[in-house]
Amino acid sequence: MSHFGAGSIVSPVVHSRYEHTIGVWKLTAHFFPNDKLARAAAILHDIGHLPFSHSIERTFGFNHHELTEKYLKDNEIEEILDKADLTCLEVIDFLNSQNQITGTDEIIGLDHLDSFFRDTYMNGGIDRLPKDLLSSLSCSKTGVIANDYETALYVMELILMDHELFLSPQLLAADRILAEAISLHFKGIVDSDIAFLTDFELLTLLNNSSNSTVKDLMNLLMNNPSKINIQSSITGDGISFGVRKIYNKTPMLDGKPLSEDLKVKNILEKLGELKREYELIVNDNY
- Over residues 41-64, the pLDDT tens digits come to 999 999 988 888 887 787 777 888
Residue 283 has pLDDT above 80, yes or no: no
Distance separating alpha carbons of residues 175 and 51, to the nearest angstrom = 12
In this predicted structure, the answer to whether residue 130 has a pLDDT above a threshold of 70 is: no
Mean pLDDT of 171-199: 85
In the three-class reduction of DSSP (H, G, I as helix; E, B as strand; rest coil), residue 195 is classed as helix
CA gap 9, 92 in Å, rounded: 32
DSSP-based three-state secondary structure for 159: helix
* Cα angle for residues 56, 54, 49 (degrees, 5° grid): 95
Host H or E run for residue 95: helix 88-95
Q: How confident is the model at residue 3 (pLDDT cuts 50, 70, 90)?
A: confident
Inter-axis angle of helices 149-166 and 110-122, nearest 10: 70
Position 163 scores a pLDDT of 94
Domain boundaries, the chain: 7-168, 169-227
Percent of the chain with pLDDT over 70: 95
Q: What is the pLDDT of residue 19?
A: 94
R_g over Cα of the chain: 20
Quote the mean pLDDT of the chain.
90
SS3 state of residue 221? helix
Q: Quickly name the fold that domain 7-168 has.
A: Hypothetical protein af1432 (1.10.3210)
Question: In the structure, what pLDDT confidence band is assigned to residue 121 with cuts at 50, 70 and 90?
Answer: confident
Which band of pLDDT confidence, cut at 50, 70 and 90, is reported for residue 189? low
pLDDT of residue 58: 74
**Residue range 147-153: mean pLDDT, rounded:** 94
DSSP 197: -
Could you give the count of Cα atoms lying within 13 Å of 66 in the half-sphere of its Cβ?
Answer: 6
Q: What is the pTM of this model?
A: 0.90
The whole-number average pLDDT for the span 190-197 is 75
Residue 108 has pLDDT above 60, yes or no: yes
- pLDDT for res 61: 76
